[in-house]
Amino acid sequence: MIQAALKLRGIRQTDIAKTCGVSASVIHDVIFGNRRSRRVEMQIAAETGFQLAELWPEWHGPKATRKRRAAMTRAQVADAFRTLVG
């Protein structure tokens, strides 16, 4: 669904990657649910005109559990740790 929405609007994954300052592989991983990035998710939602819950119902929809919504990816844990350690 996400890929179709991007294609329909003529948006490439590399365009979103440049806007978010990440690699295209990060965008791919977020689209396919292999990685989470709130910034990327929000950008994709803004560019496609869909709500987060429509694009990722398992994370943002009404049936998403509190634990799933609050879950941190390994990258997020690593970033948080780096911030603490300095």
Q: Residues 47-71: pLDDT tens digits?
A: 999 999 899 888 887 776 665 555 6
Q: Domain ranges for the chain, please list them.
A: 2-85
The pLDDT of residue 28 is: 96
The pLDDT of residue 51 is: 93
Residue with the larger pLDDT of the pair 23 and 76:
23
- pLDDT tens digits, 10-34: 999 999 999 999 999 999 999 998 9
Write the CATH number of the domain with boundaries 2-85.
Answer: 1.10.260
| Nearest of 25, 21, 1 to residue 13 by alpha carbon | 25
Helices 24-31 and 38-48: crossing angle, nearest 10°?
Answer: 80
Residue 40 has pLDDT above 80, yes or no: yes
